[in-house]
Copies of this chain bind each other. A is one copy, B any other.
Amino acid sequence: MSGIRHLAAFADLGAEQAARVLGLAHDYKRHGAPALLANKTMGLLFADPSLRTRTSMDQACFRLGGRALGLDVGAGTWKLEVEDGIRMDGDKPEHVREAAPVLSQYVDGIGVRAFSRSGTVDEEDADAVLQAFKHHATVPVLNLESAREHPCQGMADMLTIEEEFGGCRGIKVALSWAPHIKRLPRAVPNSVLLSAAAMGCEVTVAAPVGYELSPGVIAQAEQLAAASGGRVVQTNQQTDALDGCQVLYAKAWGATADSAPPDDPALAEWMPRLSHFDRADPAAVFMHCLPVRRDVEIAAEVLDSRRSRVVSQAGNRLYVQMALLAWLFEQ
């Protein structure tokens, strides 16, 4: 099985290959792409709903001359057992020990979307579903958003920053928590942080007490930043992050199930408004991965302003995913 590439986590890619992938993505966006996936089928397993990822991945395969086959796993619940040594008398009728090698015989690569179920730090850190597929599949495995990471999103965001500023190195990114009516997964902020740190951004992660990202993700980002010449700073004050930022990347995420911070009405102030840009760099742009709840998570006035890059950012998913697929199937 040596020689097979996976992208279950950013660590499978690494900073050097990430830079190459971004170069490819720019190239595909400008000049189109060769038929690198001719006669190839990516099986895309969705244990959770998806509109954007499903559409952009399907088109990414198609533009590379291949195709995607979308497969829904259960109805909103993950029906595959991934734990070893368990007596399977619960609601999961199939084990990944069979499912992954069987699917590997039908398709040329397997994409997997599987959000966190428990919402604990331990589950986020272990990312068991993606790791199990990586272990048992005999074809490349691609993370379409897992308990811990959403690498396609993080990489698309770096493409957007490169387009905006000509590069990522030294760009001051405020990665700011935002309010929401639900406890959302943390895979997107995790992946934005990891990608930005690896590409040399100076990232300030701002979140209220009790909403900090997990220590494991922060530690990995700090290592990546140390190698890239970037920087990772954490704060509980949103203003610390806004000061002079060139990118305000705001995103709602939940506390982990381990910590339950009190519902504080004052947190609504974290919702970015145009006035949040008063302290920012004059040319600062606004980013968000979508979908977004207007005037709950982000003020409509920001989304509709000239600062917003949310639409082109989503558009970049297509080109980054083409480049990631090209990398995944490289000899």
Contacts and interface: CB of A to CB of B under 8 A. Distances in A.
A62 B71 CA distance: 16
Interface string A38-50: 0001010000000
Contacts of A183: none
Interface stretch (A9-17, A87-95, A161-169, A273-281): A87-95
Nearest to A87: B295
B55 A88 contact: no
Given A43-B55, A51-B71, A292 B98 contact: yes
A98 B41 contact: no
A77 B100 CA distance: 28
Interface residues of A, number: 50
A56 interface: yes
Interface string A65-91: 001010101010000010001111100
A320 B304 CA distance: 39
A51 to B, nearest CB: 6
A315 B52 contact: no
A14 B329 CA distance: 43
Contact of A102 (B52, B54, B58, B88): B52
Say how many copies of this protein the assembly contains.
3
Nearest to A62: B41
Contacts of A310: 98
Contacts of A107: 55, 59
Contacts of A73: 51
Contacts of A86: 294-295
A314 interface: yes
A304 B300 CA distance: 55
Contacts of A98: 290-292, 303, 310-311, 314
14 contacts: A51-B71, A55-B106, A59-B107, A75-B75, A87-B296, A88-B294, A89-B181, A89-B293, A93-B291, A97-B304, A98-B303, A102-B311, A105-B311, A105-B312
Nearest to A69: B58
B294 A95 contact: yes
A88 B293 contact: yes
Contacts of A105: 311-312, 314-315, 318
